[in-house]
């Protein structure tokens, strides 16, 4: 067997070869270092022999038992099924329940009398011990790890856990425990001895971080560390702290470099004349909230200096972000410049346009609209007015970034619902500007401490107050047994002249998930209630079709809109006062809150009904109860982050940012703040990373984040 270095390719490991190497390559595991970075997702404690009779609720356990049988149980009137694997040993029986199928054919593996190892958390139902969704795999008689703490890894296309652990032990032995001495050739090839260490030593010393080598060894060989099993399970070891810090450090270094790049640019400093802004505010039939006033002050301060504004305004549904954006535009317009406001859909752009025209036209502001569905003649005229400066504020969709569009003096670019646009689309709009002042807005509330850290390249203004007079939306959860009553209530609202939304998690029928879907349910509802007009809206429709349906619903031609989450960000329909969300268990808290925000926009008392399927878990019910208890988007965001974790919560990954394998933005906020401090200190001390101590960082930064340093 050849000598294994940190950069030895995986195919040269004993027991791998070219074919198996391709399987690893799909997971971006190409070298020994990559393999060592495939960290355990949890651990099993096999040091204590257990039997079924000794299990206690709340324990995380691993034990060996035999399969008795597999049951398939229909879930009420729906076509969903629950699966139950019954296991037994000499002391008793254990029910293992699954409300979803892990993958096709999963239960076909389990034959009567087969010996298996089951791992999971012990629960209790009606006084009986059970497990929900445990891991079950065939027991191998030659298991050598019966009396140890065993690391468990995420699956790699069928590679058995034992095989994976064996390969990792090879890597640990050769790269960490017994790294080969470097020959002249190795030095010429710029090889490291052992695991490469990229974080500067002064940072490791300051934050008392152990070396990367030590941390990897402890994580992969828990039996040879001084930490307890509970420390490993809770990610509280020094080994975890080092890896978590490192994952956050790359994120924060990316943001620090990005912010430094912004600060190197120059922008037009906007004089604070304030006359136009005050006139428009005085004309409003209501008073701005304190949070709106503060956000406007933040923006005004940014615009006053010759460094580009890069600010995010985040706030709850209905908090008045759009008005803040429009008032911000007046600062640049009063100084003789133009502003652009980009929305994700045509109908939302039209809504913003009508509101802006009504608000600003009486004060001599020319507002323009540019969307894809406009006739060529209308577009050509808008192009002309933008190029001559006749239009002061242009509101539009992606049409704003077409090559033909030229502004005379664009000074401020605003993007609404920024997560709906790619990085490239945002930069294309900014390229049309003579001054790169940039404002993004989002209705997805993110906890303040998290927003300040994760969006380190943006300054953040938070609007956490709602305008006075908003009526809370009455939210209630309901189970299948109450379906007739729920729809009776919807019909009562329709008879009063109101409109309704019914939201489904799927567009069409799926073989993998037995869930109601928008297309089939739309057809059924049309047949069941022929006296009402139903519209259908989903993401697979063309943009023009979606806009047409939404316009018809807004104008009252349709009584009910059957939709998917495509309405999460949408137009205001003040007459729509009731929403029914089917299969609530399939949605995250923030998504439910965003959907609910489509109602409650008019004078009528509004309602949101959260329908829970038969297979709803305790967690699903907990989410529904949180929705019943509050309409504060920031409280909901905190809970959502706790429940779902950061992976889904933050939505689409920002371009160039690495994913987290161990770090958790909620659990590890203390380490996140340390990593942010370290990264920003590093860039403050050595902006171009010229120091010899920092040279190792440059290559990995440019490779990972696509940022050129220096």
Instruction: Please give the helix or strand (H or E) that residue 440 lies within, else none.
Output: strand 437-442
Q: Is a pLDDT exceeding 80 seen at residue 438?
A: yes
Phi, psi of 92 (to 5 degrees): 165, -170
DSSP 245: H
C-beta separation of 397 from 425 below 8 A: no
596 domain residue, yes or no = yes
Helix axes 275-282, 321-334, angle to 10 degrees: 140
CA-CA-CA-CA torsion sign (146, 151, 152, 156):
negative
* 440 in the same domain as 334: yes
* 435 in the same domain as 536: no
C-beta separation of 217 from 176 below 8 A: yes
Judging by beta carbons within 10 Å of its beta carbon (0-12, 13-18, 19+), is residue 325 exposed, middle or buried? buried
* 398 in the same domain as 496: no
* 415 in the same domain as 329: yes
* 579 in the same domain as 489: yes
The Cα–Cα gap between 396 and 344 comes to: 9
Please write the tens of the pLDDT for every residue from 460-503. 888 888 777 677 899 999 988 889 999 999 999 999 999 999 99
320 domain residue, yes or no = yes
Please write the tens of the pLDDT for every residue from 532-560. 999 999 888 887 888 889 889 999 999 99
395 sits in the region (left: phi over 0; alpha: psi -120 to 50; else beta) called beta
Q: What does the pLDDT read at residue 490?
A: 95
* 524 in the same domain as 428: no
Tell me the average pLDDT across 28-36: 91
Q: How many CB atoms lie within 10 A of CB 253?
A: 27
Q: Of 84, 116, 146, which residue sits at a domain end?
A: 146
pTM value is 0.66
**What share of the chain in percent tops pLDDT 90?**
40
Tell me the average pLDDT across 595-615: 86
The Cα–Cα gap between 493 and 471 comes to: 17
Q: Of 408, 430, 463, which residue sits at a domain end?
A: 463
* 408 in the same domain as 387: yes
654 domain residue, yes or no = no
Q: What is the CATH number of the domain that holds 622?
A: 3.40.50.300
Q: Is a pLDDT exceeding 70 seen at residue 656?
A: no
129 domain residue, yes or no = yes
* 571 in the same domain as 506: yes
* 493 in the same domain as 454: no
Judging by beta carbons within 10 Å of its beta carbon (0-12, 13-18, 19+), is residue 475 exposed, middle or buried? buried
Tell me the average pLDDT across 224-238: 85
Tokens encoding 155: 């699956």
Q: What does the pLDDT read at residue 449?
A: 63
284 domain residue, yes or no = yes
Q: Parallel, antiparallel, or unpaired for β 81-89 and 92-98?
A: antiparallel
Tokens encoding 45: 């404690």
Tokens encoding 289: 């909230």
The Cα–Cα gap between 587 and 596 comes to: 12
Tokens encoding 359: 């608000």
Please write the tens of the pLDDT for every residue from 642-655. 766 554 444 433 33
The Cα–Cα gap between 25 and 629 comes to: 47
Q: Look at the chain and report how many structural domains it folds into.
A: 3
* 486 in the same domain as 451: no
Q: For residue 586, which of 519, 524, 512, 664 has the smallest C-alpha distance?
A: 512
* 394 in the same domain as 291: yes
Q: For residue 442, which of 338, 351, 324 has the smallest C-alpha distance?
A: 324
* 543 in the same domain as 491: yes
Instruction: Please give the helix or strand (H or E) that residue 150 lies within, else none.
Output: strand 149-152
Higher pLDDT pick, 195 / 146: 195
3-class state of residue 415 by DSSP = strand
575 domain residue, yes or no = yes
Higher pLDDT pick, 636 / 279: 279
> Which of 494-497's residues contact partners 24+ apart within 8 Å by CB, and which partners?
494/532, 494/559, 494/560, 497/575
Q: Of 598, 630, 662, which residue sits at a domain end?
A: 630
What is the maximum span of the chain, computed from C-alpha positions, in angstroms? 87
DSSP 98: E
Mean of the per-residue pLDDT values for the chain? 84
Q: Which residues pair with 87 in a beta bridge?
A: 67, 94
What domain range includes position 451? 275-463
Please write the tens of the pLDDT for every residue from 677-707. 999 999 989 888 888 878 778 777 766 554 4
Q: pLDDT band at residue 710, thresholds of 50, 70 and 90?
A: very low
Q: Parallel, antiparallel, or unpaired for β 499-503 and 576-581?
A: parallel
Q: What does the pLDDT read at residue 185?
A: 67
306 domain residue, yes or no = yes
């Amino acid at each position: 067997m050849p000598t294994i270095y940190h950069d030895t390719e995986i195919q040269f490991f004993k027991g791998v070869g070219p074919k198996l190497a391709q399987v690893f390559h799909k997971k971006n595991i190409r070298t020994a270092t990559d393999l060592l970075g495939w960290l355990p997702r949890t651990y099993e404690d096999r040091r204590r022999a257990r039997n079924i009779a000794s299990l206690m609720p709340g324990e995380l356990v691993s034990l060996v038992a035999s399969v008795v049988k597999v049951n398939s149980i229909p879930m009420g009137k729906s076509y969903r099924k629950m699966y139950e694997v019954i296991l037994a040993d000499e002391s008793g029986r254990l029910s293992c329940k699954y409300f979803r199928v892990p993958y096709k054919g999963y239960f076909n593996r389990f034959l009567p009398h087969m010996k298996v190892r089951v791992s999971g958390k012990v629960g209790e139902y009606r006084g009986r011990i059970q497990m929900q969704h445990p891991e079950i795999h065939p027991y191998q008689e030659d298991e050598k790890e019966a009396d140890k703490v065993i690391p468990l890894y995420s699956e790699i296309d069928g590679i058995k856990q034992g095989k994976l652990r064996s390969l990792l032990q090879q890597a640990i032995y050769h790269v960490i425990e017994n790294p080969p001495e470097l020959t002249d050739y190795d030095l010429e090839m710029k090889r490291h001895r052992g695991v490469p260490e990229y974080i500067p030593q002064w940072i490791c010393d300051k934050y008392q971080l152990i070396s990367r080598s030590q941390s990897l060894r402890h994580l992969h060989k828990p039996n040879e560390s001084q930490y307890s099993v509970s420390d490993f399970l809770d990610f509280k070891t020094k080994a975890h702290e080092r890896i978590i810090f490192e994952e956050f450090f790359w994120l924060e270094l990316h943001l620090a470099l990005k912010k430094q790049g912004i600060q190197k640019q120059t922008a037009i400093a906007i004089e604070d004349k304030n006359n136009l802004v005050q006139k428009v505010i005085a004309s409003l039939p209501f008073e701005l909230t304190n949070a709106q006033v503060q956000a406007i002050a933040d923006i005004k301060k940014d615009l006053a200096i010759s460094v580009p504004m890069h600010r995010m305004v985040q706030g709850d549904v209905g908090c008045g972000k759009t008005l803040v954006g429009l008032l911000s535009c007046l600062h640049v317009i009063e100084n003789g410049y133009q502003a652009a406001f980009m929305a994700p859909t045509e109908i939302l752009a039209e809504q913003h346009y009508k509101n802006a025209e009504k608000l600003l036209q009486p004060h001599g502001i020319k507002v323009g609209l540019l969307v894809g569905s406009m006739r060529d003649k209308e577009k050509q005229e808008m192009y002309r007015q933008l190029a001559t400066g006749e239009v002061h504020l242009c509101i539009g969709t992606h049409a704003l970034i077409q090559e033909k569009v030229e502004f005379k003096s664009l000074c401020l670019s605003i993007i609404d619902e920024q997560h709906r646009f790619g990085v490239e689309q945002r930069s294309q709009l900014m390229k049309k500007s003579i001054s790169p002042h940039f404002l993004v807005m989002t209705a997805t509330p993110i906890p303040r401490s998290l927003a300040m850290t994760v969006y380190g390249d943006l300054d953040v203004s938070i609007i956490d107050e709602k305008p006075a007079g908003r009526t809370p939306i009455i939210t209630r959860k309901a189970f299948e047994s109450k379906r007739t009553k729920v729809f009776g209530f919807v019909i009562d609202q329709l008879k009063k002249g109101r409109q309704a939304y019914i939201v489904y998690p799927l567009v069409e029928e799926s073989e993998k998930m037995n869930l109601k879907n928008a297309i089939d349910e739309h057809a059924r509802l049309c047949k069941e209630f022929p006296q009402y007009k139903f519209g259908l809206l989903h993401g697979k429709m063309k943009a023009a079709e979606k806009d047409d349906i939404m316009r018809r619903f807004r104008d009252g031609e349709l009584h009910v809109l059957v939709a998917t989450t495509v309405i999460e960000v949408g137009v205001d329909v003040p007459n729509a006062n009731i929403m029914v969300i089917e299969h609530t268990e399939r949605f995250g808290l923030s998504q439910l809150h965003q959907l609910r925000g489509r109602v409650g926009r008019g004078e009528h008392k509004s309602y949101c009904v959260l329908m829970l399927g038969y297979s709803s878990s305790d967690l699903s019910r907990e989410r529904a109860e949180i929705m019943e208890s509050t309409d504060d988007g920031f409280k909901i965001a905190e809970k959502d982050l706790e429940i779902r974790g950061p992976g889904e919560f933050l939505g689409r990954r920002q371009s160039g940012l690495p994913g987290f394998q161990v770090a958790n933005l909620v659990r590890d906020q203390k380490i996140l703040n340390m990593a942010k401090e370290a990264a920003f200190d590093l860039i403050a001390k050595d902006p171009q990373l010229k120091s010899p101590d920092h040279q190792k960082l440059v290559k990995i930064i440019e490779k990972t984040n696509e940022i050129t340093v220096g």
